[in-house]
Amino acid sequence: MPSSPLNPDDRAPRQRRGSYLGGGRLITGTAVDRDSSGASCVITTDSEGSRLARQNSHVQSIELRTYVFLDSLQPQLAAYMGTVSQGFLPIPGDACLWLEVSPGMAVHRVTDIALKASTVRLGQMIVERAFGSLALYHRDQSNVLHSGDVVLEAIGNTVEQRSRCEVSWTEIIRAITPDHAVLINRQNRRGSMIQAGMSMFILETEPAGYVLIAANEAEKASNITVVDVKAVGAFGRLTLAGREGDVEEAAAAAMRAIHHINATARG
């Protein structure tokens, strides 16, 4: 049976969007070429580029709330973070990067980007109602910083665009009573215990993750006991204990760390 003459569409070297091939509609962004034998070849044109553009736009809508780099985890803070870690455990001296982003589920994309950028290990990843947080560790500071740089570039942010640290409450309470000490210890099972007669420094911040740098710098500066460090949730909470002079020195170091964050943050 003689073949029917080609219509103008068949003569066209390429059929664009909305064409049909084998009774099925082509995927948007594909094109059909015909080779010398007359066979049809499906060629991807702008679909991949459009998908990547949409993905990049989606990633760059992520809000950076907290970016905290700890150059060397202090022994007590490293031990405390190990008690709550569901991933790889940190050890004293590790470099650590703590990131908090919004919305919460975006932490999965941020985690994927960070882990593929270097050989960092994932210690924690928490998805909350509104925010998501993750902790990265490595002995080599450059690996941790590189993963952080790649994440910042992907989401279109800089360190300076992180949120400012709002201090909701800070106080030193001297000579803790026995009853008070017992209840604090019952509530906080992961850190060290506070003893009656000790002084106590408490700090509450928003976003939550900033208490980590406060705790790390406080431990560097003074001989104190880390009682509690909560770096997730709407507010971060830090409790340190020790002799009065040591606690005062630790409190000053913690607040210096917070002031440094705010001096460079524009968010």
Question: Per residue in 126-162, pLDDT tens?
Answer: 999 899 999 999 999 999 999 999 999 999 999 999 9
Q: Who's near 72: CB < 8 A, 6+ residues apart?
A: 92, 93, 94, 95
Q: Who's near 153: CB < 8 A, 6+ residues apart?
A: none
Residue 7 banded pLDDT, cuts 50, 70, 90: low
- The region of weakest confidence among 29-43, 104-118, 240-254 is 29-43
Tell me what pLDDT residue 211 has.
98
Which residue ranges form the domains of the chain, and what is each CATH number?
Answer: 12-45 (no CATH), 57-161 (3.30.70.1710), 166-264 (3.30.70.1710)
Question: What b/e sequence results for 206-238 when a residue is b if at least 16 CB atoms lie within 10 Å of its CB, and e otherwise?
Answer: bbbbbbbbbbbbbbebbebbbbbbbbbbeebbb
Phi-psi region of 126 (alpha: psi -120 to 50; beta: other; left: phi over 0): beta
Percentage of the chain beyond pLDDT 90 is 72
Question: Per residue in 74-123, pLDDT tens?
Answer: 999 999 999 988 899 999 999 999 999 999 999 999 999 999 999 999 99
Q: 3-class SS at 177?
A: coil
DSSP state of 102: E
Distance CA 31, CA 14 (A): 6
Tell me what pLDDT residue 207 has.
97
> Is residue 165 a contact partner of residue 213, using CB atoms and an 8 Å limit?
no
Residue 189 banded pLDDT, cuts 50, 70, 90: confident
Distance CA 161, CA 123 (A): 24
